[in-house]
Structures are given as C-alpha cells and as structure tokens.
Structure 1
Amino acid sequence: MKHPLPNVMTEARIWVRSDGKKPLRLDGRNASSTNPRSWVSYAEALDSTVGDGYGVMLGGGLAVYDFDHCFTDSGRLKVDVDRIIREITEPVLYVEVSRSGDGLHVFVRSGARSYRRGGVEFYSRARFVRMTCCPFRGWKGIRADA
C-alpha cells in the first residue's frame, strides 16, 4: 500500500484507531496514550474498521508541532506559520494538513518537553494525534530526514 508516511512512523507500534479525537483499541475500548500494550502496527490500524479513523501515539522520539488556523482566506500558508516552521531545528519527518483543513501537524524527531507558548503547541509524549495522511505539499522547506 502506497502511503506518504516515513518508515520511522509506519514501522513502529504506535498506532491506534480513533473515534473523532478519542483513541481506541482494535476491540473498541479506549486506548491509553501511556500504555504501549494498547497500540498496534500501522497495518493493523489500517485493516481495522473500529471507529472512524486512526492516529499515532507520541513519545520515543516522535513529536509534533500542532498548528491551528495556518492558512489565509486564499489558502496560502500564513507568513508567521511559515517562519515558525522554518525555525524548527529538529529533523522534520512528515507534514500533514489536520482534520479541520486549516491546521498542520509537523512531525519531528525530538525528545524535548511538550509546551504551549506564543501560539505554538509542541507535544512529545503521552499524547494522541489523529492522522489524516493528507501531506502538505505547499511548503517546500521540508527537511525529510526519515
């Protein structure tokens, strides 16, 4: 199956199903963002029909910058968001458009602590991210180090 994700993400057992933004196990019970026994492989998550989608659990070096309201009315990336993304020093693995269609998830390799400041949300552990697998190709500065 062809997908836009880097192997470092698809080869890890960090996947779960989801119902909206709620992570689920393959049997429909709640998945835990801190219990790897409730996570599965990418293939298992894709093969399941539980819930309405799938996502990843962060940690072990996988982190995400979560940006909301990234685009202008004409659909272009806002200048301040572009500047922040260009200033990311961690290796960028993958960038996707979020479920809202107006945000971005910038997945990186990092062990830094999670934070929220200056309009930037960064999460690095014990957190679930609902995936769209809709790559953002409008920004050419991606450093794919996967």
Structure 2
Amino acid sequence: MQTRWVNWRPMRRGDTVTKMPVQPDGTPASSTDPATWTDYETAEQLHAGVGMGFVLGGGFACLDLDHCYDARNHLADWAKKLIMLAGDTFIEISPSGDGLHIWGLCEPRKGIKLRDGMNIEAYSQGRYITVTGKPYKTSKRKLADITVLMNLAEHDAFGRLFNDM
C-alpha cells in the first residue's frame, strides 16, 4: 500500500485560489515530507479538505492538462493527441472538470510547464496532484510507463510532434 496520500482544500493566494495539501488532521502537508502523508483509506475516510491528492515520486508521475476543453465541452486537439500517445494508462477528469490528469510511471525528473498553445504540467517528484478518480471515457485503472510523454514534455517536443501528425 502506498502512503503517498494527502487531502487538499482551497486557499486564496492573491488573485488566485490554489489547492493546499493538508494532513488528515487539517494541518498543512508537504509534497516533500513523507511524515505529512497518509494511506488511501485514512485520506478517504477523514475528509480533512474538499478532496484527495497523491504525492508524486517513487516512480509515480502525472501530466496535468489544464483547460483542455472549450466552452462547448469539446476536447482540444492537442489534448486528444496526448491521450493517443498516452496509450493504456489511467486518465481522469480533474476537479475543475475542464482538465485531465494522465497518470503513469516514470523515473523522477525536473517538473515541466508548457504554455505554447497548450496548458501542460508534467511532474514525477516533489509535487502532489489532486485526484478525483473519475475516469476519462473508458480509461482503465492501471498505470503504464509514460516516460516517452515525459521525455517529449522535457524537450518541448509536443508542438513539433503534433505538427507532423
């Protein structure tokens, strides 16, 4: 059983609202301090915040696709292509409802933010990602190796790749 779970609650920082990780007792958690994490059952039962989160690392990674749906609830082309490349790994709908999380396995590496016509963040350590458990379409509840996706993100190659597709 993985003890990499936290809860989260909204927190205002200036003009934005962020998702602050919290421990089962409601005190702040840290994405880099395992002493502040818990197991799935505890995080699910105590509801210290408004949702649950999973701390990345230990081989676990996630690509966070923000705002990838338009006003008509159509998925952006760049997100469709990423989903095709992701293969058979768990993809869920984010808490906002207008984003997706592509979960998988990958060795730890530096986090990445891509904003050139896309809104992608890719992490495999030192971060936590909120979890809804709401699968995207027929996504399977298994984790595949997403190293290729992380490599493409790291080299900012999605734009070049998608233009060739």
Instruction: State the TM bucket, normalised to the shorter chain.
Output: 0.7 to 0.9
Identity %: 33
Equivalence for 1:114: 111
The alpha carbon displacement at 1:96 in A equals: 0.8
The answer to which structure has the higher helix fraction is 2
Report how far residue 145 of structure 1 moved. Answer: 4.4
* TM-score, L = length of structure 1: 0.79
Q: Distance in 2 between matches of 1:63 and 1:39?
A: 17
Cα distance in 2 between the residues matched to 1:23 and 1:145: 23
- Report how far residue 35 of structure 1 moved: 0.8
- The reply on whether 1:45 has 2:35 as its aligned counterpart is no
| Residues 84/75 of structure 1: CA separation in 2 closer, same or farther (3 Å cut) | same
Taking structure 2 as the reference length, the TM-score comes to: 0.71
Residue type at the aligned position of 2:100: L
Partner of 1:105: 101
Report deviation, 1:28.
Answer: 1.3
Highest RCO, 1 vs 2 (Cα 8 Å, sep ≥ 6):
1
Structure 1 runs of 4+ aligned residues shifted over 3 Å read: 142-146
C-alpha distance 145-96 of structure 1, shift in aligned 2 (>3 A): closer
Give 5+ residue unaligned stretches, structure 2. Answer: 11-18, 145-165
CA-CA distance at 1:27 after TM superposition = 1.4
Q: Number of residue pairs matched?
A: 132
Q: Deviations over 1:55-81 (max 9, x none)?
A: 111111111101012123432322221
Provide closer, same or farther for how the CA distance between residues 60 and 78 of structure 1 changes in structure 2, counting only shifts above 3 A: same
Opposite residue 52 of structure 1, the aligned amino acid is V
User: Is 1:79 equivalent to 2:77 in the alignment?
Assistant: yes
Corresponding residue for 2:124?
Answer: 124
After TM superposition, the structure 1 = structure 2 runs for residues 1-146 of structure 1, keeping only pairs within 5 Å, are: 11-20=1-10, 21-88=19-86, 92=89, 94-111=90-107, 112-117=109-114, 118=116, 119=118, 120-137=120-137, 144-145=142-143
Structure 1 unaligned spans of 5+: 1-10
Q: Distance in 1 between matches of 2:51 and 2:100?
A: 17
C-alpha deviation, 1:103, in angstroms:
0.3
AA matched with 2:132: T
CA distance in structure 2 between the partners assigned to 1:17 and 1:145 by the alignment = 21
- In 2, Cα distance between the equivalents of 1:16 and 1:42? 8
Return the alpha-carbon distance in structure 1 between the equivalents of residues 143 and 21 of structure 2. Answer: 28
Post-superposition CA distance 1:77-126 (Å, at most 9, x none): 2222111232348x72x211111111001111011432123433101111
